Structure 1
């Protein structure tokens, strides 16, 4: 920001001003920079904190994956247990899939089953 950026004047309570001053000190910002940061953050959550944006994106991906899985489960007529098994299977490495298949196969072919 420069001295030429537009200015606005705002009335706030003493309590709110105290909170903003404390937060500014803790974050190493001036009071003005803290207020601008908080306004920008509220208008664009991705600017709030670099790490927070990554967390929000990860949450969105997890939610999208869950929605797609539920949609697929309904479309294909799987019950909840089948859907969980399919989701777990998809997350396995190729090697672990191979090991699990051999375990199932040997278990199914065993005369004790």
Structure 2
């Protein structure tokens, strides 16, 4: 059986797949809290929870030509992929008279 790595001082620690990862320079030290810097505080303020509609992940495949057009729209019109896909799907669902859903994603049958 091959040896993946050794434990010790500043050596790398083995991780899945036989690769190694070096400890992060800002890693926690036992008995101490996380290292807080001005940049950490600025980042934390940006990570405040946003209030808005609930979103869920949607994975799908599209034609290469559709992706190219989507990338062009995002780059040239300052839209996001999420907003474009949401508007396009809403328009399609409205066209086919699919009932609306509440903010929690529940459709109340009419």
**Quick one: higher RCO (CA 8 Å, sep 6+), 1 or 2?**
2
Which one has the bigger helix percentage? Answer: 1
Asked whether the two chains share a fold, i.e. TM above 0.5, the reply is: no
Q: Which has the larger radius of gyration?
A: 1
TM interval, shorter chain, is 0.3 to 0.5
Q: TM-score, normalised by structure 2?
A: 0.33
Q: TM-score, normalised by structure 1?
A: 0.32
